Structures are given as structure tokens and as C-alpha cells.
Structure 1
């Protein structure tokens, strides 16, 4: 995830309790419509989910995690 994607997620999270950002604020901040912003957020979340799932499939990661958990 790059810096721009993080900025998008931070922005969206900051507006969650208010029901989402106003359309004009989204356009001024990111140069996209609310629909485009929503699609971008879905894309970011999907990519991060896939990245995390891929990391969990790495056998060496499971071995390292198991070693850390052992007394």
C-alpha cells in the first residue's frame, strides 16, 4: 500500500462516524467522485486482504511464528 492509499483510508475512516464525507470534499481532496472513492477503497482493501492471505500461506512464516510461541 502506498502513501496515497493510506491517505485515502485515513480520510474515509475519519468520516465514518459522520456517515461519510461530502461529495464536494471528496472531489476537492482527491479529485474523484464519492463512487470512485468507494471503488478505490474496495480495491485497496481487497489488495491488502490478498497480500495478508498470501503472507499467511508462506510456510517459513508459520515456522517462525511457532518458534516464537514456544517456551
Structure 2
């Protein structure tokens, strides 16, 4: 999910308690109709679900955390 997708999701979440965003707010914020926003959100959710399913079934494809794993070196004299 890219930055724009996150902005869309945050926007929709913020309006969720009120029944969703009004059409004029959607147009003002993102330059799209409410129907276009709904289609885009549906696509984002579906792609995120597919990505998570893939991770569950193929954990070796997960992105590394960015922190190298600690490896014990038996030849290291410092203990």
C-alpha cells in the first residue's frame, strides 16, 4: 500500500462513524467521485488481503525487519 492509498484509507476511516464521507469532501480532498473512492478502497482492501494470504502461505517471502539476526560465532573468543 502506498502513501496515497494510506491517505484514502485514513480519510474513509475518519468518516466511517458518520456513514462515510460526503461526495463534496471526497471531490475536494482527492478529486474523485464517491463511487471512484469506493472502487479504489475495494481494490486496496482486496490487494492487502491477497498480500496477507500470500504471507501466511509463504512466510519466506516476508520482508526482513531491517535488523540483522544475531548469529552466534563459535570461533569468537569474546564471551
The answer, yes or no, to whether TM exceeds 0.5 is yes
Q: After TM superposition, give the deviation of residue 58 of structure 1 in Å.
A: 1.1
Say how many residue pairs are matched.
61
Counterpart Cα distance in 2 of 1:53 and 1:38: 22
Query: In structure 2, what is the Cα distance between the partners aligned to 1:28 and 1:16?
Result: 18
| Equivalent in the alignment of 1:32 | 32
TM-score by length of 2: 0.73
**Structure having the larger proportion of residues in helix:** 1
Structure number, greater radius of gyration: 2
Q: Which runs of 5+ in 1 are unaligned?
A: 62-71
Post-superposition shift, 1:60? 4.1
Shift >6 Å, 4+ stretches: none
Q: How does 1:12-51 map to 2 (within 5 A)?
A: 12-51=12-51
Identify unmatched segments of 5+ residues in structure 2.
62-79
